[in-house]
Structure 1
Amino acid sequence: MRQSNRGKILDAAVAVVQRDGVTGVTLDSVAAQAGLTRGGLMYHFRSRDALLKAIHHHLAEQWEAGMVDAAGKTAQDASGDERLAAYARVTTQSSTRAELSLIIEAATHPDYMKPWTKVLSRWTPPIDEAASDPEALARFVARLAADGLWMYESLTDEPLPPELRQSVAEHIAQSVVNVAGPEEPR
């Protein structure tokens, strides 16, 4: 099946972020990367801001699709422990420069953060219970460990061998059930 121009543009935009950082994203740079004219790109995205919002949605959707694959079900159909275990397992893929740059940018831009927050709210436990409930605290610590694994290779020059990365992710995923005990599906 042929990829739509919209998908082609979003993949090209991510490639520009990977190569040049978020500041490198211009309508012209993305159009050139996608092999389109500026007008062809503007048919789908009227402004740089609209393009950046769409990039965040695109990556958040890919991230969630990975968690659905890891859990074997949607967030709605999974228990809290299954959701958090899937979240941990998805961390077997380290962050790319593009993902890390975009997440950092999103932290200070509410419109860019919305798609990430929606995914997080479906797949990770709420933190408000962590201060008063030991099981909620254990789940929150597992989430922090998963986040750390995702960022590890971005912060060090020591890449993890794939087998070790997988073992660490699985250890985090298993710790959710082992520490907190089995949870009833919601």
Structure 2
Amino acid sequence: MRTSNKTKILDAAVRVINRDGVRAVTFESVSSESGLTRGGLLYHFPSREALLRGIDEHLVQAWEASMQQLLDVPAGQASAVERHAAYMRVSAHSATRAELIFMLESVQPDSDVAPWSEAMARWAPPPPRSGEADPAVWDNFIARLAADGLWVYEGMYNGRIDEDVRAGIAQRLMAMLRAQAE
């Protein structure tokens, strides 16, 4: 199936962000990266704000699709451990700088949309409640923090970690989740 121009625009904008940051997203930079005209971009995104909102939604959808692809069942039918495991694997292997930037931006108190917050509520374990005694709840959250930390490390510092080290981290996080499933 042929990729739509809207998807080409969004994918190109994400490449610009991953390479040069959000400030570099202009109609000119995205037009150049996508090979489409400025008019073609304006047809789909009449303003830079509309383009940024589109990027945000595009990233959330792609992020959730990556996790859904790891499950054998729809997310709503998967157990909490299965959803958390998918979250850990995606965060430890393929989370991007653009996703991190947009996630941080969308949780601002004055934000009128919170696509990342909604996605996180579906996929990632919440913090334990005060007085929580179940070690599994603690392990879920600690594994999430570790996966998030890896993502932040790479996103903020362009600190690519060797693939074998990354795989080792993912295995350790998965072991935390597996121990509770047994």
TM over 0.5: yes
1:66 counterpart letter in structure 2: S
In structure 1, the residue matched to 2:84 is 84
Cα deviations across residues 15-51 of structure 1 (Å, max 9, x unaligned)? 2212331111122322232222222111111111111
Paired positions, count? 179
Are 2:94 and 1:133 aligned? no
**RCO comparison, higher one (Cα < 8 Å, 6+):** 1
Alignment of 1:133-152 (within 5 A): 133-135=132-134, 136-152=137-153
Alignment of 1:106-185 (within 5 A): 106-108=106-108, 110-111=111-112, 114-127=114-127, 129-135=128-134, 136-154=137-155, 159-178=160-179, 181-182=180-181
Aligned partner of 1:131: which letter?
S
Aligned equivalents of 2:181, 2:48: Cα separation in 1: 46
* Offset at residue 155 of structure 1 (A): 5.1
Task: Give the aligned residue type for 1:150.
Answer: W
Describe the shift of the 1:89–1:95 C-alpha distance in structure 2 as closer, same or farther (beyond 3 A). Answer: closer
TM-score by length of 1: 0.83
Is the Cα contact below 8 Å between 1:53 and 1:111 reproduced in 2? no
CA distance in 2, matches of 1:57, 1:111: 13
Contact 1:85 1:174 in 2 (8 A): no
Report the counterpart of residue 27 of structure 1 in structure 2: 27
Partner Cα separation in structure 2 for residue 30 and residue 156 of structure 1:
24
Displacement of 1:64: 0.9
Partner of 2:92, secondary structure, is: coil
| 1:131 Cα deviation from its structure 2 partner | 2.2
Q: Partner residue of 2:99?
A: 99
Take 1:168 and 1:75, find their aligned partners in 2: how far apart are those partners?
24
In structure 2, C-alpha distance between the alignment counterparts of 1:158 and 1:38, rounded to whole Å: 34
The AA in structure 2 aligned to 1:134 is: A
Identity %: 45
SS at match of 2:104: helix
* Contact 1:31-1:38 at 8 Å conserved across structures: yes
- Paired with 1:146 and 1:7, the residues of 2 have a C-alpha distance of 28
Q: Hey, what's the Cα distance between the residues in 2 that align with 1:137 and 1:8?
A: 41
Q: CA deviation at 1:6?
A: 0.5
Supply the distance in 2 between the matched residues of 1:157 and 1:27 (Cα, whole angstroms). 25
